[in-house]
């Protein structure tokens, strides 16, 4: 799968989600809204995952970042949804 990237400012952090997997390891998911620095200030939501406990360095509202991500579609009840998963984050 090809990776994409976007640069911008973190506008909002959504409530974190988490739980315990069948193997007993904790997982965490944090979702963020980023506003790009393009002409129209487009917003995008992306998710940051950890499958080894809490995310070590969560992002903060106001951070300027470059996010590399992959888009993956999933089907639920005959409707497709896109999941934007961050693969690398760089502070700017």
Look up the CATH number of the domain holding residue 44: 2.40.50.140
Q: Which residue has the higher pLDDT, 39 or 70?
A: 70
- What is the value of pTM for the model shown? 0.87
Helices (H), 32-92: none
Mean pLDDT within 7-21: 94
Range of the domain at 18: 4-91
The residue whose two tokens read 């470059």 is 66
From the centroid of its chain, how far is CA 63?
14
pLDDT in tens, 60-85: 999 999 999 999 999 999 999 999 99
Number of domains in the chain: 1
Q: In degrees to the nearest 10, what's the CA dihedral of 62, 4, 41, 73? A: -100
Beta bridge partners of 74: 81
Query: Rounded to an integer, what distance in angstroms lies between the CA atom of residue 84 and that of residue 67?
Result: 11
Identify the pLDDT of residue 54.
84
């Amino acid at each position: 799968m090809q990776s994409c990237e976007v640069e911008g400012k973190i506008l909002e952090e959504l409530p974190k989600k988490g739980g315990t997997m069948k193997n007993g390891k904790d997982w965490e998911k944090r979702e963020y809204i980023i506003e790009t620095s393009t002409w129209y200030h487009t917003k995008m939501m992306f998710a940051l995952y950890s499958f080894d406990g809490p995310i070590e360095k969560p992002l903060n509202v106001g951070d300027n970042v470059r996010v590399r991500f992959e888009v993956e579609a999933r089907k639920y009840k005959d409707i497709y949804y896109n999941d934007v998963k961050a693969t690398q984050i760089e502070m700017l």
